[in-house]
Structure 1
């Protein structure tokens, strides 16, 4: 008996065919699936996305101009009009904290990118070539790393002066040794792999080997260190501004807002509470996100 095909049966067959179609799995999709199964990592990603949106739409979110001084509203406690209160010049702290998100995130991103392309490049060269190049680069990095990061950054800012470019350069040089070591470790993880030896056997050039074969397979570990250093950059930036060697007033950077409020810690603790909470929440979110990426890119979890 011949099978009768109706339009409804054809729709069902097409739907079943789509379901049976194999889904191509890639390392990126597998890592994303593992990342989505981590609730704390998703929480960190959610908070980071909120912070990015706040930084982008800061002029629309902030109710006041962060530089506007209102001497009739000085040192007011948090209220419906001023959610985070006002400082000693009558400036709205909520508006300053909102605009501080833009400054802190953007400057931290530039600091991390600069450290990644300077120290990271040295680490890749040391990890791939090894031998004398590895010894020279790593011993120089040991000399730099013997100085605490915050102390080195402070010395560089003291020489170059205050400002955003000077702060980026200071954090870059202070973070360069650690970034070089992490990228070197990432390259060494794939240096002895079979596909690297096969590529060398067929005569693949060194530059092509690094760009096409080694970096793509080590990029997962590099991303983990990159995200982690965003939190480190924010902490260093805020600490330097707090002690007066970072950005200069009236820039609404979180550490600088803390510096403005430290003289009023007992009389108006809210002046330090809210920017400190923003620093804590941001660094905590980046750390959660970094831990989730570490678990997602860990090959032992495949």
Structure 2
């Protein structure tokens, strides 16, 4: 037996991990996302000041050794507010995307697995949702529900149900007619077992990539809605609301808006780079 014959083929998970960690942009995206996650988890230990406490004596100060990113109109430390703001942005994005994945992924999986009238009904509903831009649909829902953390989460989740349904349907369609699924069907496996044990585990790649990209969109959506006053209400340190608070002072004190704007940019960039690298790593057609 030759040495070449004894070489074991790489498992899909190992191949994907090797491709991912050979991608500089993917590693950079992972580092950026981890930095934001660490900031959110350890905000009480990283923030030097209370993010909502007014300090009129310190108002409108520029970046310094005492206040790294300066202070706002009410003397609140901007670095502390940006750090605590990561909690709100990540919480809204993770909860909304998880809810959208649960509802949209389930509907898409059922549509792709059963086809016929089930597929027609679900896809027509998603067509109606996709006819509205996500941000406008979220604004309409918030106009009906009112602002606040949980209503904001629900509005963003509803806006992203349709894209998840489409992605899940396409992923299931590529898997449902494979030989191992047909073999399990011939052995008498139930539909639920086929979906949970055979179809969905082999359709997770595109769904996982969609999750990372939708997290970036959700953070942008949360910031935009907070900027309009429809998100988490003051004095909570929401990034979008912080940008809105600094808008009247862009010419004289631009750091009030620049600090949360940079936080949004870094977070969204991290998730986008991570999603692009995952897409390449989970695509077996690349053959790397």
Asked if these proteins are the same fold (TM beyond 0.5), I'd say yes
The corresponding residue for 2:281 is: 296
**Unmatched 5+ residue regions in structure 2?**
1-5
Secondary structure at 2:64's aligned position in 1?
coil
The corresponding residue for 2:124 is: 139
- Deviation string, structure 1 residues 43-82 (Cα, Å, up to 9, x no partner): 1011111111111111111111001111011111111111
- Alignment partners' CA distance in 2, 1:270 and 1:217: 47
The corresponding residue for 1:8 is: none
The corresponding residue for 1:103 is: 88
Secondary structure at 1:85's aligned position in 2?
coil
- Alignment partners' CA distance in 2, 1:158 and 1:48: 32
Secondary structure at 2:203's aligned position in 1?
helix
Pairing 1:196-211 to 2, within 5 Å after superposition: 196-211=181-196
The corresponding residue for 2:208 is: 223
- Alignment partners' CA distance in 2, 1:127 and 1:255: 38
The corresponding residue for 1:9 is: none
- Alignment partners' CA distance in 2, 1:22 and 1:53: 40
1:118 aligns with 2:103: yes
Normalising by structure 1, what TM-score?
0.91
1:183 aligns with 2:164: no
Pairing 1:36-115 to 2, within 5 Å after superposition: 36-115=21-100
1:127 aligns with 2:103: no
- Deviation string, structure 1 residues 185-239 (Cα, Å, up to 9, x no partner): 1111212212122222222110000000011001111111111110010000000
Q: Which moved more, 1:131-140 or 1:265-274?
A: 265-274
The corresponding residue for 1:160 is: 145
The corresponding residue for 2:268 is: 283
The corresponding residue for 1:246 is: 231
Normalising by structure 2, what TM-score?
0.95
The corresponding residue for 1:270 is: 255
TM-superposed CA distance for 1:26, in Å, is 2.5
The corresponding residue for 2:3 is: none
Secondary structure at 1:213's aligned position in 2?
helix
Superposed CA RMSD: 1.3
TM-superposed CA distance for 1:160, in Å, is 1.1
TM-superposed CA distance for 1:107, in Å, is 1.6
Secondary structure at 1:84's aligned position in 2?
coil
- Alignment partners' CA distance in 2, 1:66 and 1:24: 53
- Alignment partners' CA distance in 2, 1:89 and 1:158: 29
Whichever of the two has the greater Rg, that structure is: 1
Secondary structure at 1:79's aligned position in 2?
coil
The corresponding residue for 1:13 is: none
**Unmatched 5+ residue regions in structure 1?**
1-20
TM-superposed CA distance for 1:25, in Å, is 4.0
